[in-house]
Structure 1
Amino acid sequence: MTEPGGSDSVSGNSFHGPTAFQAGDHNTQSIHHHTTHITPAATGAADPLDAVADELARVVGAQWQEEAGLRRLLEPTPLPVRWRVSERKVAGRVGGATAEGAARARFVPLPGLGPTTRGQLRDGGGLPELHAVYGGLASGRLLVVGPPAAGKTAAVVLLLLDALAHRAARIAPADRSRVPVPVLLSLDGWNPGEDTATDWAADRLTRAYTLFHGRGGRARARQLLEQGRISLFLDGLDEVTGRLRGAMVSALETAPFRLVLVSRAREAVLTAKKARLGGALAVEIQPVGAADAAGYLLNRLPSTPSPAWRELAGRLVAETGPLAAALAGPLAIALLRDVYGDDDPVDELLDTARFPTPSAVENHLLDHAVAAAYTRRPGHPRPRYSARTAERTLRYVAARLTREGTRDLRWWHIPGWTGHRPRLIAVWTVCTVVCGTPGVLMARSLDPSLLVVVLGALAAIGGGYEISRRVAELNVAQPLSSAGRRDIFTRRTILSGVGQWLLVGTMLDLLVPLLSDPAPPWWLWYLVTLPLGFSEVLVTGRGYEIVSGAPVLSLGSGRRYDKVRESYVRPSVVDTRSVGPLEVWRHHIGLRLFLGLLTGFALALYIGPILAWTRSPLLGAMFGLTAFVWTGATSCLAGNLAVATSLTAVQLHHEEGTPVRLVHFLEDARRRNLLRATGPVYQFRHARLQERLARDR
């Protein structure tokens, strides 16, 4: 293993608590609930990091086992992965990667594996050989390249699962700490000019896995990286701009952990002209052989396939042509399997008049991919959406992303997809009626004159407009930022809030009797000052945005918030899981609504009891209700990206015919292998699918 390296400083990081589904465009995607005690005593490990690494391996394995299942990489029999050392000018000499001769190896072979030699690399191989290269490469730098739709990411996912299986079952437990845990991340969003590779990776791990939330979570992630106990599988190099690609490659040269870097071959060649990953070995994924493709397709069919399938398989092996060329890539093979059933006329693809080129075959399969995904299959539940609705929605989404020049579907950018005026009017109307009515009734009870009632109504209209205006501001793309309840209600913030509450309550209890006679009872002061303690908790923690704009409670909000706060006290029990887009959206909906309503209740409690004591219980109750609905609406709606996304989804349903529950539809499309997810971001399963769906919009 390498010596620990990198800076010990923490820069540009915001801590995210155990339920914080924050920010960052590329967290991991599946969610697996498991409650684990991360303590040396519980595991018998001498080093606390051993338990953390083992738990990370469990979560990563569950995550990518599920994802591989969704992508159908494991069943029936996987397509074989073939690779050879690339002859493209994307890396240095092979000897620099294997360190044969006098060169000094940067990484020793993993337990159970031998050093990688030139002889091993000469003939290439399959997945077992690729894992042997990954674990025995002296430089610890592996570059996986290939043309579009060659199956690079699929190969890397299977390599990751092989690496986890080797760590779990093929070596002695005493040697397990010397085998790094492979973690697959996307490179998009990293700026090497601001963060080192270790800083960026540690930050991404804290966002991706709740295992690294809590006290010292980021520090644990950083330790694992610096000690080489995590290996990074980095995808998406070809999807960032050319200048950033070169900077990333240069920054990764000094990373203290093993690397597997994935890129399309063309972009890898262009990047190598500016910067090369020192010591990297470049392997290229080979086209799928005709016999392998035919065998893979026939494995899912009955023992006696239909004549159409038999003819296709036979012609595929015996002849060359557009179909054979198209099925040299895993994408087309997977689409063919999805689109055509056991008794469908699959032999129509052999008609070279209809399908004269490989692109024509692939386009035909892409055109039917959505309908096939939403066709009911025996033994499976009925699709929640019709094929027509699904295709209309995905075409709209694809066209929108294509116009924006991106592959990333960030759900918090959806409010910018359509005009905000209908949402502004709807929120304005609802808030004016629902929130304004209690206030008008309260004003009328104080003074029944027409002027007071009119002023109350105008105030309601103005308040409703202000809330709707703040919701409409989210029409402009916003950064995704949030916090979990344990980031807000920490021991430090709670103690600060209790101290504020007791101090103000005691001062009022002592001073008011000196100035007023008769004075309210002592317990009333402690009751009405509870909201100040609650406000102090939000202001000193990460909840200051919740009270932003709330009268009295928002004073000083955010002034004392430390953006890099790693010393929060957390329980020793961690709910270990990985985080995906739907979970991020639900978090924003649930936590923000809960805290918004709690803020409204706090303001109602602040003045309502005093009015009830000094004037009348009815007046106090009416004021409390008015304060609750207005402050609750402001805190729940203004700045809540998830609510803005939901409102936009309703608007898009009427304008474009998309589902009302748009985020749930996107998750359903992911589970049907039309989309994939990296953290809170969705993408189409392949760029060609997005391009094809967007062509008619």
Structure 2
Amino acid sequence: MRLPRWTWPVVTLVVATGLFLFLFRDGWELADQKSSVLGMAFGGAGLLLALSQWWRGRSAPPALDLAEAVRAQWRREERIRGVHDPYPLPVRWANAPADLVDHWPTIHRDPDRDEPIDLAGTLDHVAEVYAAVPSGRLVVLGRAGSGKTVFTTRFVLGVEGERVPVIFPLASWHPTTDLLTWMTDRLVREHGPEAGGLVEGGRILPVLDGFDEIAPDLRDLAIREINASLGDGDPLVLTSRVDEYAAAADVVTGAAAVVLADLDAADVEKYLRLSTRGDKWAPVLDRLHPVLGTPLMLTLARTVYDTADPAELLEVPDPEDHLLGRYVPALYGERERRYFRVLAEVLVRRDTHDLAWWRLPSAVKAYEPLYVVAACVPVLVGALISGSVMVGALLVVLLIPWTTGVATDQPPLRLRPVSWTGFPVAAAVGLLGGAGTGLLLDLSPPQTALLALACAVLAVATAIGANPVERLVSDPDRLLRIDRTTSVVNVVKMAVPIGIVVALFGGGGPRAVAVSVAIGFAQTIAYQAWGRFGLARAYFAATGKLPWRLMAFLREAHRRGVLRQAGPVYQFRHARLRDRLAREAD
């Protein structure tokens, strides 16, 4: 922790003035005794400063292993999605049409080489196919559900080199934002501040997933921004649906392109035969093969008709939409299905695919009045405990400033008390500043000690809360725990000093506790992501729109395959499933 430059001069002035008044106010007779007492205090502060230097030397942060963190995340996703159950689907691809590929001399990085490269292959050879592209830039095209996500996952797990392949979902990028800045911000948010310099340092191989999910009127700008961000020799992988990429005004500079092929009838028959009991699919496969020709529809069909008869697919006008509509009911009851509709509607309304727990408060249409009502509860309780109407009035006055900041999204603070480097320094500054202020105010020794303690608690809490997370944050639950810890630290930072000051100036124990609890609660639900999320979750649960144990519900949905995890956020396993559920909510 680095203290502001003005901290030490201010503390020195306060303490020096306080010392002068304290030592010589009663004459020289008691100065010697007072000096002895203060000597002990300064000795303790010196010890804390020494401990600070010792701890700073042994608290070097651990090295960031981004490659292993990313691979561990996507290996876990493959297990949850059942990619290998009963065996990996044979995703294949062939070269894209010439109008979707840049000039071959540009791809070869040689103006005299114009021969095309055969990039046809399967998932088993994804690393070899990519290595055959001299520019290191590849565009992967395919229709909805054709296996683009499976390709990117296998790419991240299969390609090794100096650069770490990292998947960046383009649905959350606005092309007016610099691409490198956006990627850096996302890396920092998902993997900690140590990852901040990896993009500019040329350590990242970007896998830009979902070009088709960018708004149609922004895709031309997106292509220009992507090309402008590419330096000489910078690699890139981009995925998109075919038509959306073809409609763009340009292609990715120096990029080869492949198109994912549909599964053939033999692939579909073999997969369903090995993954289900009996031969219930045999009578309908000839007519349903065009529907089940993508990995998405094939896996949905397997889940929906695990125990039911698939013959009904022959009777519906739109089998694909029918499978999307039957998927969640095959796994959950009506109540849970209603929860998914609410979540999908929120995401569609916000035009995003990222289901981030800290953005849930923005889905509450009247969060500010809800906050005011919730904050009034501890105010009334505090007034009752203290037996004083004045305490209630004081709390209301203190709560008013917080109502101005509750209507905006509050991202989780990536802070928690794991690095105690600045603790001794902060404690020393707080003790000395509080003691000096007490002396200036001519407080009694007990009052001075309490004020010093209050300042020390405030300074220590600030020091603890000012240290970044050093370990990787790759899942929503861990990020929630980190922000919850930070929230507790900030509550202590606000509530304890205020409580001490109230007790110090005649508020009494009950009043001090009442004020501390009310202020801490209000501060948490106003500004802390964990507190705001808790209030929003309680609101949605009380109205029957979402479950009380929302994070457990999301974890279970992820385990069952309805949701996928992308770093600290959840997403529906496919955009079409999100849109289908959102339509049901209308």
TM-score tier by shorter-chain length is 0.7 to 0.9
CA gap of 1:539–1:597, structure 2 versus 1, over 3 A, is: closer
SS of the equivalent of 1:325 reads coil
Quote the RMSD (CA, aligned, Å): 3.4
User: Aligned equivalents of 1:650 and 1:74: distance in 2?
Assistant: 38
Alignment equivalent of 1:363, drawn from 306, 321, 329 = 321
Counterpart contact for 1:424–1:468, Cα < 8 Å:
no
Give the counterpart letter for 1:72 in structure 2: G
Partner of 1:502: 432
State the 1:131 CA deviation: 2.0
Partner of 1:130: 126
SS of the equivalent of 2:411 reads coil
User: Aligned equivalents of 1:279 and 1:397: distance in 2?
Assistant: 40
Partner of 2:337: 391
User: Aligned equivalents of 1:494 and 1:187: distance in 2?
Assistant: 44
CA gap of 1:266–1:530, structure 2 versus 1, over 3 A, is: farther
Partner of 1:663: 551
Give the counterpart letter for 1:520 in structure 2: S
TM-score by length of 2: 0.79
Partner of 2:187: 205
Partner of 1:76: 86
User: Aligned equivalents of 1:153 and 1:80: distance in 2?
Assistant: 14
Partner of 1:24: none
The superposition leaves residues 463-490 of structure 1 with CA deviations (integer Å, 9 ceiling, x where unpaired) of: 59748946xx63x452525230259x76
Partner of 2:49: none
Partner of 2:380: 433
Partner of 1:57: 67
User: Aligned equivalents of 1:630 and 1:126: distance in 2?
Assistant: 61
Paired positions, count: 521
State the 1:492 CA deviation: 4.8
Partner of 1:335: 300
State the 1:459 CA deviation: 4.8
Partner of 1:608: 503
Shifted more, 634-643 versus 57-66: the winner is 634-643
Give the counterpart letter for 1:66 in structure 2: R
SS of the equivalent of 1:65 reads helix
Alignment equivalent of 2:562, drawn from 647, 659, 674 = 674
Shifted more, 392-401 versus 178-187: the winner is 178-187
Shifted more, 153-162 versus 672-681: the winner is 672-681
State the 1:593 CA deviation: 3.2
SS of the equivalent of 1:83 reads strand
User: Aligned equivalents of 2:473 and 2:361: distance in 1?
Assistant: 26
Partner of 1:87: 97
Counterpart contact for 1:601–1:628, Cα < 8 Å:
yes
Alignment equivalent of 1:234, drawn from 180, 183, 208 = 208
Give the counterpart letter for 2:151 in structure 1: A
User: Aligned equivalents of 1:479 and 1:158: distance in 2?
Assistant: 34
Alignment equivalent of 1:647, drawn from 515, 535, 540 = 535
CA gap of 1:406–1:195, structure 2 versus 1, over 3 A, is: closer
Counterpart contact for 1:506–1:526, Cα < 8 Å:
no
User: Aligned equivalents of 1:371 and 1:569: distance in 2?
Assistant: 42
Partner of 1:384: none
Partner of 1:12: none
Alignment equivalent of 1:218, drawn from 190, 196, 208 = 196
State the 1:631 CA deviation: 2.5
Counterpart contact for 2:108–2:133, Cα < 8 Å:
yes
User: Aligned equivalents of 1:605 and 1:459: distance in 2?
Assistant: 16
Partner of 1:311: 283
**For residues 405-554 of structure 1, what are the structure 2 equivalents within 5 Å?**
405-420=351-366, 423-424=370-371, 426-439=373-386, 441=387, 443=388, 453=389, 455-456=390-391, 458-459=393-394, 462=396, 466=400, 469=403, 474=406, 476-485=407-416, 491-492=421-422, 495-496=425-426, 498-506=428-436, 508-509=438-439, 520-521=444-445, 525-536=448-459
SS of the equivalent of 1:283 reads strand
User: Aligned equivalents of 1:598 and 1:62: distance in 2?
Assistant: 36
CA gap of 1:388–1:294, structure 2 versus 1, over 3 A, is: same
Counterpart contact for 1:192–1:251, Cα < 8 Å:
no
Give the counterpart letter for 2:331 in structure 1: A
Q: Unaligned 5+ residue runs, structure 1?
A: 1-47, 105-116, 168-177, 375-386, 444-452, 544-567, 612-618
**For residues 6-25 of structure 1, what are the structure 2 equivalents within 5 Å?**
none
Counterpart contact for 2:371–2:526, Cα < 8 Å:
no
The superposition leaves residues 327-357 of structure 1 with CA deviations (integer Å, 9 ceiling, x where unpaired) of: 111111010111112x5322333x3xx135x
User: Aligned equivalents of 1:497 and 1:195: distance in 2?
Assistant: 42
Counterpart contact for 2:412–2:529, Cα < 8 Å:
no
Counterpart contact for 1:428–1:468, Cα < 8 Å:
no
Give the counterpart letter for 1:436 in structure 2: A
Counterpart contact for 1:428–1:467, Cα < 8 Å:
no
User: Aligned equivalents of 1:251 and 1:190: distance in 2?
Assistant: 15
CA gap of 1:645–1:161, structure 2 versus 1, over 3 A, is: same
- Percent of aligned pairs with the same residue? 27
User: Aligned equivalents of 2:136 and 2:246: distance in 1?
Assistant: 20
User: Aligned equivalents of 1:288 and 1:415: distance in 2?
Assistant: 42
User: Aligned equivalents of 1:269 and 1:569: distance in 2?
Assistant: 43
CA gap of 1:206–1:255, structure 2 versus 1, over 3 A, is: farther
Alignment equivalent of 1:277, drawn from 241, 245, 252 = 252
Q: Unaligned 5+ residue runs, structure 2?
A: 1-59
User: Aligned equivalents of 2:542 and 2:496: distance in 1?
Assistant: 35
